[in-house]
Amino acid sequence: MELNSFRELLLKKAADNPTLQMIINVMRDDLIAEKVIESLEKMARPNASAGRGANAAITAFANHMKNKDVEMMRDSLGHHISHYKSALKNGNREVADQHLNNIIPLMHLAAKTAAHSGGQLGLDYVKPEPWESNYTTVERRPETGKYKEGTKGLGRRPKNTDRSSNPRGVPDYRYLEMKPHGQHPDTESSKHKGGYPFEEIQLGNPAKVDAKEAHLHIPDVGPQDKYVPHPFDEHPIHEVADLKQDHMTPERMKNFADKMQSWHTSPHNAQWMQNIKDVHAKDPEAFKSRGKVKPPHHFEGLTLQEQPEEARGGSSSNILNELPPELQAKFGKLSAPTAAPEAVSSKVEAPKLSENILNDLPPELQAKFGKK
């Protein structure tokens, strides 16, 4: 659609608003294009649908959110990421894991809260599913084409499991310290090829997120020999953040409401307020500039964790191109068969496929892919 046609469509939509019609008529083409792209980017943000999973406590927390609460959450996330990075740099695995265990749940809380905050809170980040697939794998069920263990993104919580007995188990968040899974659908088109890009996270007022001025403050905190909590860790929202709505009993809601009443006068809240005052007094200009510059890559200078062998391969599209048309359609490559198996170039090096997929192939392709 040409911009002239798009302008006409906007004018029709604004038929009942003469002022808006006048603005549309005089607006330059490049400004229209810029605003349309900006709106599409907001729609495409990964937390756009996260609000559906919010329970009544999160909704109440979001409805009463003030700028101070946004800044405290933002400061907390930056605190845990910076201390996690420091612990990794100095080889303290235990402390690193303690901070890492706070990061994804806190991002998930922010994503669910943002949708109900009335424009008070915005969040942008890179979806973690390609990294999560290092543990869950991209292996699909032949009968349905669905992943055997689907990714959960920010909703993932580690479980005590032994990966030697459960190869798709998720015992920790260390998959974020690997490269993204080589065959995850998003890996090929992504510019991020190393460890998870924590530096891309933005949290704050939506206008600042749109202007790319809500990056986290991730300072070099130096060596840490023990876990250092953040005052926001004690906020009562954490006790109920992961509960589904049907578990939010009247008693639990009353307990949460009572704790929220006392939170604003709690020593943890007072401690954070004093910390912020001290930091601001030390260097007001540096404090004001926080968020305006993206931090360096989180894993710069750090050695990444080794990926499972299954996750090191190339793009899944190479495998899909080698499958018969009916299986290409089944696994999401094509909407309908369009090519015969004979059209596959013999020059393409045959990738390794899982046993389940191999069993679905015709005998001649089983032989091609190395099945005895």
Whether residues 58 and 135 fall in one domain = yes
Query: 297, 313, 329: which is the final residue of a domain?
Result: 313
Whether residues 69 and 33 fall in one domain = no
Whether residues 268 and 206 fall in one domain = yes
Query: Which pLDDT belongs to residue 17?
Result: 77
Query: Which pLDDT belongs to residue 161?
Result: 87
27 DSSP assignment: S
Query: Which pLDDT belongs to residue 12?
Result: 73
Query: Which pLDDT belongs to residue 8?
Result: 76
Non-local (6+) Cβ contacts of 339 within 8 A are 325
Q: pLDDT in tens for each of the 372 residues of the chain?
A: 455 676 777 877 777 677 777 777 777 776 666 656 545 444 445 555 667 889 999 999 999 999 999 999 999 999 999 999 999 999 999 999 999 999 999 999 999 999 999 999 999 999 999 999 999 999 999 999 999 999 999 999 999 988 988 999 999 999 999 999 999 999 999 999 999 999 999 999 999 999 999 999 999 999 989 999 999 999 999 999 999 999 999 999 999 999 999 999 999 999 999 999 999 999 999 999 999 999 999 999 999 999 999 999 775 444 454 455 565 555 554 433 333 333 333 333 444 455 555 555 555 555 555 543
Tell which residue, 343, 327, 123, has the closest CA to residue 215.
Answer: 123
Tell which residue, 95, 355, 297, has the closest CA to residue 179.
Answer: 297
SS (H, E, C) 207-238: HHHHCCCCECCCCCCCCCCCCCCCHHHHCHHH
Whether residues 221 and 93 fall in one domain = yes
The backbone torsions φ and ψ at residue 235, rounded to the nearest 5 degrees and listed phi first, read -65, 135
Whether residues 30 and 156 fall in one domain = no
Query: Which pLDDT belongs to residue 34?
Result: 60
Write out the residue range of the structural domain in which residue 352 sits: 316-368
Whether residues 362 and 243 fall in one domain = no
Whether residues 351 and 285 fall in one domain = no
Cα–Cα distance, 162 to 154 (Å, whole number): 22
Overall number of domains in the chain: 3
pLDDT digits (tens, 9 = 90+) for 61-120: 999 999 999 999 999 999 999 999 999 999 999 999 999 999 999 999 999 999 999 999
In our burial notation (b when 16+ CB lie closer than 10 A, e otherwise), range 87-108 reads bbbeebeebbbbbbbbbbbbbb
Q: What's the first-to-final CA gap in the chain, in angstroms?
A: 53
Tell which residue, 86, 75, 105, 89, has the closest CA to residue 227.
Answer: 86
Whether residues 221 and 327 fall in one domain = no
Whether residues 250 and 335 fall in one domain = no
DSSP string, 186-205: TTTT-S--SS--GGG-EEE-
Whether residues 161 and 261 fall in one domain = yes
Query: Which pLDDT belongs to residue 322?
Result: 43
Query: Which pLDDT belongs to residue 204?
Result: 97
Spatial contact of 195 and 304, defined as CB atoms under 8 Å apart: yes
Cα–Cα distance, 122 to 130 (Å, whole number): 23
Whether residues 37 and 63 fall in one domain = no
Query: 313, 340, 357: which is the final residue of a domain?
Result: 313
Whether residues 233 and 341 fall in one domain = no
pLDDT digits (tens, 9 = 90+) for 181-214: 999 999 999 999 999 999 999 999 999 999 999 9
Query: Which pLDDT belongs to residue 223?
Result: 93
